[in-house]
């Protein structure tokens, strides 16, 4: 993946999203390059789902189908998300999709903080009519992504289908997670893509769920 030498990225904890009556972890990412300008506010629910009024989702990347996928990711993971991207869409969608993945992964890692008291592992199957996808997550600190799946169309709306696996790769690289996403079957490319994003959402929700003592790192090494 390419990032221009002019890239600057700032990461800071913040709480711009509505407060909930339970534990949350938040992050603010501003990622500015010669190709994109991205702002991400992310809040992770760590002791149960957000109350309806506090679960806020707003996404605007300039790529309608990609917005739909990110909204589904936030909805089914239980994350509150505000994400805007002003990218060089006059070129194509690569820089915007890639950099959104990098920024969102950075926000996830920052918001989660030290991976203590969580399940660490998560997996999920998500169907959408005839399509079925599986995602498996390990909050491992070792970035890796493996995607299997095929699309018939070059684009779904304004999103290039080749950028769907690349988004997952970009997200995993900065989130510091091991991620496997498999589109197991399906005929409709919209359904296959959406099932993949929803499977990831549910797997992430499971992986960050509380488990055991709050100060225990879920690793025999004692560190992740």
- Phi/psi of residue 163, each to 5°? -85, -10
Q: Do residues 141 and 217 make contact, with C-beta atoms less than 8 angstroms apart? A: no
* pLDDT value at 3 more than 80: no
Please state, for a pLDDT cut of 70, what percent of the chain lies above it.
81
Which of 117-121, 167-171, 197-201 is the least confident region? 117-121
Per-residue pLDDT, averaged over 142-147, amounts to 98
* pLDDT value at 4 more than 80: no
Q: To which H or E segment does residue 150 belong?
A: none
pTM: 0.87
Residue pLDDT, tens place only, 174-201: 999 999 999 999 999 999 999 999 999 9
Highest CATH level, class, for 24-208: alpha beta
Q: What confidence score (pLDDT) does residue 72 get?
A: 98
Q: What confidence score (pLDDT) does residue 215 get?
A: 73
Kindly give the interhelix angle for 94-112 and 163-175, rounded to the nearest 10 degrees: 30
């Amino acid at each position: 993946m390419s990032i221009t030498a002019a890239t600057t990225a700032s990461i800071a904890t913040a709480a711009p999203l509505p407060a909930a009556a339970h534990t949350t972890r938040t992050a603010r990412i501003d990622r500015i390059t010669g190709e994109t300008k991205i702002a991400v506010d992310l809040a992770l629910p760590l002791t149960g789902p957000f109350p309806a009024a506090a679960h806020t989702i707003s996404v605007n990347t300039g790529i309608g189908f990609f917005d739909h996928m990110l909204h589904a990711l936030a909805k089914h993971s239980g994350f509150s998300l505000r994400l805007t991207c002003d990218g060089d869409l006059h070129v194509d969608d690569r820089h915007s999709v890639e950099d959104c993945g990098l920024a969102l992964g950075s926000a996830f890692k920052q918001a989660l903080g030290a991976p203590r008291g969580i399940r660490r592992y998560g997996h999920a199957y998500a169907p959408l009519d005839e399509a079925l996808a599986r995602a498996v997550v390990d909050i491992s600190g070792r970035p890796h992504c493996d995607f299997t799946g095929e699309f018939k169309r070059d684009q779904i709306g304004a999103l290039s289908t080749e950028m769907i696996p690349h988004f997952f790769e970009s997200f995993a690289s900065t989130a510091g997670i091991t991620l496997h996403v498999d589109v197991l079957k399906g005929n409709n490319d919209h359904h296959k893509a959406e099932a993949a994003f929803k499977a990831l959402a549910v797997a992430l929700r499971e992986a960050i769920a509380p488990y055991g003592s709050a100060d225990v790192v879920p690793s025999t090494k004692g560190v992740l």
